Structure 1
Amino acid sequence: MKSIGEMLKQVRENLGLTQEQIANKIASQSSIQKIESGKRNPSYNTIISITDKLCIPYDELLYVQNEFQLSTRNKLVFDFQNLGNSLHKDAFNQLNQDLSDYLNKHDDFQLRDLQAVLQSIICFQESQSFTKPRPIVKPIWDRLEKQDDWYNFDLYLLSHIFYIFEPETADEIIAKLLKNIDKYEHYNQNPKFKLSFLLNIVTYYRHHERILDSEKLIEQALEIARACAFDTHQKTAEYAKAEVLFLQGETKKATELANHVFSFFELLKNEPNKKAILDDLKNDWAVLTEKKI
């Protein structure tokens, strides 16, 4: 693997820039030359100043340095993010083992928290109980509850575990999460993160027979899903809207919308997880309408 200095030189030359152009207001040209040749170890601030001049984020420089591969740590986070709606227990268990292997060699409190979240999800999947996984992630909430501000990784963790806590605590977390996620709108430009969180809240309200409380959140989710062409998320939100309409007495309109959603997933039932989603939605609808579908 090339050194940071060699990577800075590679990027600079690829962009057709001279050492003199990069050195301006950062360091002398001879200093840049020594950094690129490995004769001087630059400080972090100097590296950031150079990457700013090169218009390449530091994280991207490391990604290129690693031959366009994620670091082991970032790969673990990436794998967690891409578990999504996976119904395969093996994928969760394998990631749990991979995290254990990494943490046996590295002291990383964020990944320890991430593993706790993962283990709470595994526990919930196996027990279908909200109370059993609670002790696994309670230390995370005990710590974050005392913080004045929540940062991006904090938001990500809590968005996956809020539903495990008592309703009063969960409602407190939801309110604070919604406020803080909006603060990060221009930093975390991944609309699917907020969309998934909104749908998770809707699911939480459904489990606690409070689906009517989610009407505004459903509309927000629909707006994001339509704008970004997230079809599966859109149909999931439309189903939730059908439940709201049904409880508001608009039976015909609700049934038409629900059947439209079922037809969408029926067409895709051979794709991974789609049939399971369809079965879950139909079961939820049967319970809601007290009919067998």
Structure 2
Amino acid sequence: MRWDFGKIYKEIRLSKGLSQTEVCANQISRTSLSKFESCQSIPSIENMIFLLDQINMSLEEFHYICHVYQPSKRQEILNQISKNLSITGTAELEELQKLCTQYLETTHDIPIESINNILTLVIQLRENGPKNHNELLNQTAQKVWENLEKADNWYYRDFQLLNAILFYFPLENLRLIIDNMLNQLVKYQDFADIKPIKDKLLTNCSTLYLYNNFKSECEKVTLELLNLAKETKRYDSLGFAQVRLGICKGDDNLIEKGLSLLTLTEETALIQTLEYEIKNYR
């Protein structure tokens, strides 16, 4: 990790052929920029955002460069947890949990603690099966939920955490929690990065509703997933949503349309799951 942030900023500015005058304009003084670039001072958050905007760089990318073009330990954890846990091998999850444990030994970090709890949930679930929730699983899910429940608003990382524990909520609370989650997602409708996690959330909500025979709720959520899939050109999600809607509506043509699309995209495992659902929930 390089701590000479000002020097790094100067290197980037010069590599882009920008002068201090061009960067500062009439927004901040050249003296302030000079002190920053010579590592004599640190800008305010407002000024730092402005300076990064002038070199067309996000804070996340600047942080990555400060780590010598490598993710920090924290960012490495966040990058890996953002992957779909359902397709990550258990051995990989166990290695990620070791990384979390090592990081938490020296650093207080509430989000990473929550991620560590989620990893415990997923690993235990794979070892014991979905129907064998032990006390550790229930306690761990409760810890994650307590942090989310006390918040007035949920944010991007909160939606990721929520997605990981949806299947552990009591059935009597499920509809209320999902409704609250969907309402909170509205404020992120113009935030492009939310769309992949929204896809996962809607998919999981649809599954929970269908498997608990809440077909009207399943249809409503799946229709939203269908519209999102069309917007993002996610053909796997589009085919999935068409089959699910067909199951909810009793529409064989819609089911066949979705299965044909998934066949073209070679989603073999997903087709097998949906064929099971057609047989048992149609």
Distance 1:260 1:186 in 2: 30
CA contact (8 A) 1:164 1:170 kept: no
Alignment of 1:1-293 (within 5 A): 2=2, 3-25=4-26, 28-38=29-39, 40-45=40-45, 46-86=47-87, 88-126=89-127, 127-129=129-131, 131-132=133-134, 133-246=137-250, 253-254=251-252, 256-266=253-263, 269=266, 274-289=267-282
2:60 is aligned with what amino acid?
A: D
Give me the identity figure in percent.
21
Q: CA deviation at 1:165?
A: 1.0
Distance 2:84 2:203 in 1: 16
1:128 is aligned with what amino acid?
A: P
| CA offsets 1:240-293 (integer angstroms, 9 cap, x no match) | 1121122xxxxxx42x43344444444555xxxx4332222222222235xxxx
2:200 is aligned with what amino acid?
A: S
Distance 2:120 2:213 in 1: 26
Q: Which secondary structure state, in structure 2, belongs to the residue aligned with residue 137 of structure 1?
A: helix
Structure 1 unaligned regions, length at least 5: 247-252
Q: CA deviation at 1:169?
A: 2.1
Cα distance change of structure 1 residues 148 and 288 upon mapping to structure 2, 3 Å threshold: closer
Structure 2 unaligned regions, length at least 5: none
| CA offsets 1:84-120 (integer angstroms, 9 cap, x no match) | 5306322322222222222223221101101212222
| CA offsets 1:18-45 (integer angstroms, 9 cap, x no match) | 223334456543442232233x131443
Distance 1:85 1:232 in 2: 15
2:205 is aligned with what amino acid?
A: I
Cα distance change of structure 1 residues 27 and 241 upon mapping to structure 2, 3 Å threshold: closer
Cα distance change of structure 1 residues 213 and 130 upon mapping to structure 2, 3 Å threshold: farther
Q: Which secondary structure state, in structure 2, belongs to the residue aligned with residue 70 of structure 1?
A: coil
CA contact (8 A) 1:221 1:237 kept: yes
2:98 is aligned with what amino acid?
A: Q
Identify the range of structure 1 (123-132 vs 211-220) with the bigger mean alpha-carbon deviation.
123-132
CA contact (8 A) 1:159 1:177 kept: no
Identify the range of structure 1 (60-69 vs 256-265) with the bigger mean alpha-carbon deviation.
256-265
Identify the range of structure 1 (149-158 vs 173-182) with the bigger mean alpha-carbon deviation.
149-158
State the TM-score, normalized to the length of structure 1. Answer: 0.83
| CA offsets 1:39-59 (integer angstroms, 9 cap, x no match) | x13144343342234342222
CA contact (8 A) 2:148 2:154 kept: yes
Distance 2:259 2:30 in 1: 65
Distance 1:98 1:277 in 2: 31
Distance 2:201 2:114 in 1: 18
Provide the alpha-carbon RMSD of the alignment.
2.5
